[in-house]
């Protein structure tokens, strides 16, 4: 190793991604210790910092080329020593001149003064604040003014952030390309309209509320005038990634305007958005030919003139237009919540509509959650899908072993997840084992399947008797069970 050149050592170190491996590597020799320190660009610290400021200063001194830093105090207790405070952020901003990406999670002792020190970080491009209870709008404004290169802002559960001078400032500069706002009670969907011209350059936007948003109805927009629509004449044609969750919309009000403006969308997530209109969604699909990923989480609401008519807002007509207008669609999640299996009509889609979409578009990954309208013959129909590689079935009460027998014939299927599919038994697992096609199988909360039953059904098997939290499951994320998991590898 001592004969290797420094550039070659640097290339070797760049290939190592696990922090524990990098730490072990630095103990091999002084040469590797120095090389690893020079190349380390990312650190993640938190509760183990003690004393916090001094420890962080030492890390910054050892790793002079840090570009990405995450400080996470999740699960912290006072017994673990003092949290990092404003002085720590001053140390970070003064000793890390190359810092471009900073995440602060559960940092309760950093306030506007501390966040203001980030103005010294002239190369800072991304700032993510996750539960920052002491940081307010004035602190964000100082960051906006001082960090001219900032293009990514994430605000999650920031309780003191209210007034939006910082948002108006970013809107005027047009520097943001990614904006995420979740559970910030002081920021409404109408405040976000003040972003104004900033929407033009924005490529990713998320807005989510997790309060009792459905009880009081949509808050009134104080700037709305039915006779003057120019206030909503906002350009957002560069938006590629849009997620709206847990909000109430009404025509021409608030963030509703996004659904009629976006033409470059590649990823769309609409999670429990009350007030969706099918004609509006059809127009959206017709304009978004580049759409690659769609996630819809729907619940039945009162629809039509009938007093007792409840169903999800969209029907097969939406799926038909989606299939014909979005030829690049690859990832689809359809989640139906509070839809009773006794009343299939509560789901506006039909099995035929879903099957037609899968057969029309090159769907690579599909998730069906709570789809009590989907039967074994539906899996038979999609078993001929030429592109389907990943399938996730969650709480699909109609699916049985026969359905697994059909889907095991899908030509490219490599990953299958079954969660809370109560009618699937060991016979279905045996069928999967006979097909010998699956690389990955995850089984959770399927009461008629045991640990022994899943053995040999795939190269990698994950099993849990519990089904975990069915809400918020994402097909693109690796599934991690909340209880001990059996993993079996077959060479």
HEC states along the chain? CCCCCHHHHHHHHHCCCCHHHHHHHCCCCHHHHHHHHHHCCEEEEECCCCCHHHHHHHHHHHCCCCCEEEEECCCCCHHHCCCCCHHHHHHHHHHCCCCCEEEEECCCCCCHHHHHHHHHCCCCCEEEEECCCCCCHHHHHHHHHHCCCCCEEEEECCCCCCCCHHHHHHHHHCCCCEEEEECCCCCCCCHHHHHHHHHHCCCEEEEECCCCCCCCCCCCCCCCECCECHHHCCCCCCCCEEEEECCECCCCCHHHHHHHHCCCCCEEEEECCECCCHHHHHHHHHHCCCCCEEEEEECCEECCCCCCCEECCCCHHHHHHHHHHCCCCCEEEEEECCCCCCCHHHCCCCHHHHHHHHHHCCCCEEEEECCCCCCHHHHHHHCCCCCCCEEEEECCCCCCHHHHHHHCCCCCCCEEEEECCCCCCHHHHHHHHHHCCCCEEEEECCCCCCHHHHCCCCCEEEEECCCCCCCCCCCCCCCCCCCCCEEEECC
CA distance 420 to 84: 42
The region that residue 302 occupies, defined by phi over 0 for left and psi between -120 and 50 for alpha, beta otherwise, is beta
Q: Residue 4 is part of a domain; what is its CATH number?
A: 1.20.1280
Examine residue 275 and state whether it is found in any structural domain, yes or no.
no
pLDDT for position 324? 96
> Is 1 within the bounds of a domain?
yes
Domain total of the chain: 1
Q: What is the pTM of this model?
A: 0.86
What pLDDT sits at residue 483?
A: 33
Residue 29 lies in a domain: yes
Where does residue 61 rank: exposed (0-12), middle (13-18), buried (19+ CB within 10 A)? Answer: exposed
pLDDT of 310: 86
User: What is residue 230's predicted lDDT score, i.e. its pLDDT?
Assistant: 47
Beta bridge partners of 169: none
Q: Is residue 159 part of a domain?
A: no
Task: Please check whether residue 34 lies inside any domain of the structure.
Answer: yes
Within-domain flag for 240: no
Domain boundaries, position 27: 1-40
Does residue 306 fall inside a structural domain? no
Of the candidates 320, 246, 313, 250, which has an alpha carbon nearest to the alpha carbon of residue 285?
320
Show Cβ contacts of residue 61 under 8 Å, excluding neighbours closer than 6 positions: 95
Nearest-angstrom CA–CA distance, 294 and 268? 5
Q: What pLDDT is stored for residue 225 in this prediction? A: 56
Provide the pLDDT for residue 341: 85
User: Which pLDDT does position 34 carry in this prediction?
Assistant: 64
Sign of CA dihedral 240, 245, 251, 252: negative
- Which residues, given as ranges, of the chain have pLDDT below 50? 228, 230, 307, 469-491
* pLDDT at 375 (0 to 100): 96
pLDDT at 40: 81
Q: How far apart are CA 107 and CA 46, in angstroms?
A: 9
Q: Is residue 143 situated within a structural domain?
A: no
């Amino acid at each position: 190793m001592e004969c290797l050149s420094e550039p070659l050592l640097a290339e070797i170190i760049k290939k190592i991604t696990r922090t524990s491996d990098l730490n072990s590597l630095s103990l091999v020799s002084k040469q590797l210790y120095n090389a690893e320190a020079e190349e380390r660009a990312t650190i993640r610290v938190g509760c183990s910092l003690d004393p916090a400021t001094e420890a962080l200063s030492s890390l910054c001194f050892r790793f002079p080329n840090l570009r990405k830093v995450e400080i996470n105090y999740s699960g912290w207790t006072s017994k673990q020593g003092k949290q990092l405070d404003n002085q720590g952020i001053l140390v970070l901003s003064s000793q890390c001149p190359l810092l471009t990406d900073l995440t602060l999670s559960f940092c309760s002792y950093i306030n506007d003064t501390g966040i203001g020190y980030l103005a010294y970080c002239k190369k800072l491009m991304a700032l993510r604040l996750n539960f920052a209870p002491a940081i307010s709008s004035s602190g964000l404004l100082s960051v906006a003014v001082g960090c001219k290169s900032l293009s990514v802002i994430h605000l999650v559960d920031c309780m003191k952030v209210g007034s939006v001078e910082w948002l108006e400032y970013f809107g005027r500069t047009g520097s943001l390309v990614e904006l995420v706002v979740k559970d910030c009670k002081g920021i409404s969907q109408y405040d976000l309209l003040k972003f104004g011209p900033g929407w033009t350059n924005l490529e990713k936007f998320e807005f989510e509320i997790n309060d009792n948003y459905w009880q009081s109805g949509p808050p009134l927009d104080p700037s709305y005038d039915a006779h003057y629509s120019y206030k909503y004449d906002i350009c957002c044609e560069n938006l590629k990634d849009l997620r709206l969750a847990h909000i109430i919309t009404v025509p021409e009000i608030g963030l509703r305007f996004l659904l009629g403006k976006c033409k470059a969308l590649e990823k769309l997530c609409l999670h429990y958005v009350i007030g969706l209109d099918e004609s509006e969604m059809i127009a959206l699909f017709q304009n978004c030919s580049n759409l690659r990923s769609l996630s819809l989480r729907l619940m039945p609401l009162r629809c039509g003139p009938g007093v007792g008519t409840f169903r999800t807002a969209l029907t097969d007509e939406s799926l038909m237009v989606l299939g014909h207008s979005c030829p690049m669609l690859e990832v689809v999640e359809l989640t139906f919540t509070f839809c009773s299996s006794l009343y299939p009509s509560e789901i506006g889609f039909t099995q035929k509509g879903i099957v037609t979409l899968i057969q029309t578009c090159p769907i690579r990954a599909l998730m069906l959650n709570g789809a009590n309208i989907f039967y074994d013959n539906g899996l038979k129909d999609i078993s001929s899908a030429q592109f389907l590689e990943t399938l996730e079935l969650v709480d699909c009460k109609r699916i049985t072993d026969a359905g697994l027998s059909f889907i095991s014939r899908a030509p490219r299927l490599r990953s299958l997840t079954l969660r809370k599919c109560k009618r699937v038994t060991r016979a279905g697992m045996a069928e999967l084992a006979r097909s010998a096609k699956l690389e990955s199988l995850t089984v959770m909360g399927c009461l008629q399947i045991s640990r022994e039953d899943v053995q040999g059904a795939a190269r990698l098997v994950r099993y849990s008797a519990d089904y975990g939290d069915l809400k918020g499951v994402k097909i693109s994320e690796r599934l991690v069970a909340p209880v001990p998991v059996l993993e079996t590898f077959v060479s």
